[in-house]
Structure 1
Amino acid sequence: MSLRSIALALVTGSVLALTACGGGDTAAESPTCPDGKIRFGVEPFEDPARLTPAAQKLGDALSQKLQCPVEVQVTQEYSAEVLAMQNGKLDIAIFGPLGYVFASQRADAEAVASFANADRNLSTYTAGIWVPKDSDITSVQQLRGRSLALGSVGSTSGDALPRKALADTGIPEKDVKIDYAGGHPEALLALTNGQVEAAEINSQQLASATAGGTFDPSRFRQIWSSAPIPNDPITVRGDMDPAFKQAVKDALLNLDPATVGEIGALLDVSPPGPLVPVDRGTYQPLFDLAASLKLTEGDV
């Protein structure tokens, strides 16, 4: 099935919505509180049982800063989050780097902040492909005719970068048995359960699963790693009031590191620092990646 077909099939996915309490009776009158609440989307990069409370903590803190209730929505698919912002159903959102590319194109999403370490340096992560330790696969070139679990359509490290690795070695995608597992945790489980011969595991999921005891790196071997990827941007929808966009940016950049540390830990940011400013230029390599794979707005 084509990337476009899969993405279109997924956009009907629902979201898990939680409302962060904050603001007051006058919140709806504030220019920083459109329609009496702020709708905050989060991409599904981690098990919802872990991601939802971490995202909720960030939403609660933002609610207090802006004196406006923040509704946190963890989407079921990457494509659903992009379309939600395009359709005006999200005011701000955390996107994967590639998701931001499409959100920029489709909803004029503006990157304003991302996760940093304690030295205030923007954090990064890497995509990876792993196989069992005793596998005869030692390189990407040997994936021809083998099964490979990828995460989700539209994911930077769980879809685009592994596919770019195949393209760079001259292997047509049709020559690899690609299985979209539904997310990073699911791709990892497909490998550990012996359902596939190789799987994408990015450095964030590796750290999270290893710490959680669901993955033993000594039993597996990494055969490929990407260059460092700038961590996920927090974005504001482009058609929001300029005063609102500035208020959101100021609030995010002045949050206590402890507030963002829980969700930052799921992005392998340790020790956590404050959020730091980013912009479109920060993610130019991802725009270039989309161009090299000939991905367009219609692919998500």
Structure 2
Amino acid sequence: MKKFTLAATAAITLLGLGLTGCSSASEDTASAESVTCPGGQIRFGVLPYEDPEALEPAYRLLADALSEKLDCPVEVQITEDYAAEVLAMENDQLEIAQFGPLGFVFANERAGATALASFGDAEGQPTTYTGGIWVPKDSPVKTIEDLKGKTLALGSPGSTSGDALPMSALVDAGIDADVQWDYAGGHPEALLALVNGTVDAAQINSQTLATATEAGTFDPAGYRQVWESEEIPNDPVTVRSNLPQEFQDAVKDALLGLDSADVAKVSKFLGVDPAGPMIEVTNDTYKPLFDLAETMNLTEKDV
């Protein structure tokens, strides 16, 4: 498979060793260590699937509500990338974390992440999203097979819809050795590469499509989708399995008890609008992603 160098179209600087944090409002009156507050705080990891500056207030709202239910300060830590989030949980630097579906596979295997809850719709039903490959409307590319010899912007290594699924589609189409691809650095950056005309095609998942369309940074009328993945279960919020079971149960109950308004801003980033409450998921919910990783021989090194 050919890889070309895609110049960065945007830069994000994160503070610290791959993490940047924002604490919940309850930190001003930090709780003492308790069953629901191990170590006196809960660190909540979030992968940077959108601009961290946009994600931060949405997750702070969720964290504040969670903090109130658990009587414990909740600090949101937006990690530098997918690998940093897995590593942080593996090193006991995160108590809970939201992973992408494929990232969860590696987090489960390496860090013992256990799926607790995901983002439901207004009817309280599970939600999904899809991966896609888009080209300009006037492009000669009509099908995924036509990408042979073309340039393609992917998202980030280890991304479900921004890496593994489009790469799997190229393999299935028999053109994986003939497409020139590179990682743009994330979903928004891949979309921007297409808009700026620096690539022939780009992966754009349904979540980023909705966000960018509403923000006015992408007009779907000027582009065409030439490939779409099967539906993917939305991101799980997980807990580290080496923590006391009583704490794990308390976090699960707290997540499932959050009001829709507490999670609405995060849900919107995930393509869920109008939002509903969080719903229970288990590791088995993500079995298709475990199967995908096995089929493609993916390991945490691919992140």
* TM-score bracket for the superposition, by shorter chain length: over 0.9
- In the TM superposition, residue 2 of structure 1 has moved relative to its aligned partner by 11
- Matched with 1:71 is 75
**Following TM superposition, by how much is the alpha carbon of 1:23 offset from its aligned partner in structure 2, in angstroms?**
6.6
| Amino acid of the structure 1 residue aligned with 2:62 | L
1-side partners of 2:19 and 2:264: how far apart?
Answer: 24
Q: Which residue of 2 aligns with 1:258?
A: 261
Offset of 1:29 from its aligned partner? 2.9
- Check conservation: 1:117, 1:269, Cα contact below 8 A: yes
Asked whether the 8 Å contact 2:144–2:173 carries over to 1, the reply is yes
Listed one character per residue, the Cα deviations across residues 144-191 of structure 1 (whole Å, up to 9, x for unaligned) are 11100000001000000000100111123x421111000000000000
Kept after mapping to 2: 8 A contact 1:23/1:67: no
* AA of the residue aligned to 2:21: A
Which residue number in structure 2 is paired with residue 107 of structure 1? 111
SS in structure 2 opposite 1:113?
A: strand
Query: CA separation in 1, counterparts of 2:134 and 2:274?
Result: 26
Distance in 2, Cα, partners of 1:13 & 1:267: 26
Counterpart for residue 131 of structure 1: 135
Q: Give the aligned partner of residue 286 of structure 1.
A: 289
Q: 1:26 to 1:58 in 2, by over 3 A?
A: closer
Q: Distance in 1 between matches of 2:33 and 2:40?
A: 7
Aligned equivalent of 2:25: 21
5+ long unaligned stretches in structure 1:
4-11
Q: 94, 99, 102: which one pairs with 1:95?
A: 99
Q: How big is the alpha-carbon RMSD for the aligned residues of Structure 1 and Structure 2?
A: 1.7
> Cα offset for 1:107?
0.6
| Aligned position for 1:48 | 52
Superposed counterparts of 1:118-157, under 5 Å: 118-157=122-161
Question: Following TM superposition, by how much is the alpha carbon of 1:21 offset from its aligned partner in structure 2, in angstroms?
Answer: 2.5
Measured against aligned partners, the alpha-carbon deviations of 1:24-58 in whole angstroms (never above 9, x if no partner) come to 86722311111110000001111112111111111
User: Cα 1:26–1:127, aligned 2, differ >3 Å: closer, same or farther?
Assistant: closer
Kindly, what percent of the aligned residue pairs are identical?
58
Local SS of the residue matching 1:28:
coil
Aligned to 2:13: none
When residues 194 and 2 of structure 1 are mapped into structure 2, their CA distance, relative to the original with a 3 A threshold, is closer
Structure 1 Cα separation of the partners of residues 290 and 126 of structure 2: 18
Q: 2: distance between equivalents of 1:273 and 1:88?
A: 31
What secondary structure, in the 3-state scheme, does the structure 1 residue paired with 2:266 have?
Answer: helix
Separation in 1 of the partners of 2:33 and 2:41? Answer: 11
| Change over 3 Å in CA distance of 1:26–1:269 after alignment to 2 | closer
Per-residue CA deviations over 1:117-161 (Å, capped at 9, x if unaligned) read 011111100000000000001111111111000000010000000
Q: Is the 8 A contact 1:23 1:64 kept in 2?
A: no
TM-score between both structures, scaled by the size of structure 1: 0.94
What secondary structure, in the 3-state scheme, does the structure 2 residue paired with 1:273 have?
Answer: strand
Change (3 A) 1:292 1:281: same
Say whether the 8 Å CA contact 1:24–1:68 is kept in structure 2: no
Secondary structure at 1:187's aligned position in 2?
Answer: helix
Partner Cα separation in structure 1 for residue 2 and residue 117 of structure 2: 33
1:211 aligns with 2:214: yes
Q: Partners in 2 of 1:18 and 1:75 — Cα distance?
A: 12
Cα pair 2:122 2:277 within 8 Å, conserved? yes
Give CA deviations for 1:266-289 in whole Å, capped at 9, x if unaligned: 101011000000001110000011
Q: Is the 8 A contact 2:117 2:236 kept in 1?
A: yes
**Contact 1:42/1:94 (<8 A) preserved:** yes
Distance 1:141 1:90, change over 3 A: same
- What does residue 269 of structure 1 align with? 272
> Number of residue pairs matched?
291
TM-score (norm 2): 0.93
2:165 aligns with: 161
Map of 1:8 onto structure 2: none
Tell whether the 8 Å contact from 2:79 to 2:85 is kept in structure 1 after alignment.
yes
- The answer to whether structure 1 residue 231 and structure 2 residue 237 are counterparts is no
Partners of 2:270 and 2:145 in 1: CA distance:
29
In structure 2, how many angstroms separate the alpha carbons of the residues matched to 1:245 and 1:44?
24
Partner AA of 1:223 in structure 2: V
Q: Which amino acid aligns with 1:284?
A: K
Q: Structure 2: where are the runs of 5+ without partners?
A: 4-15
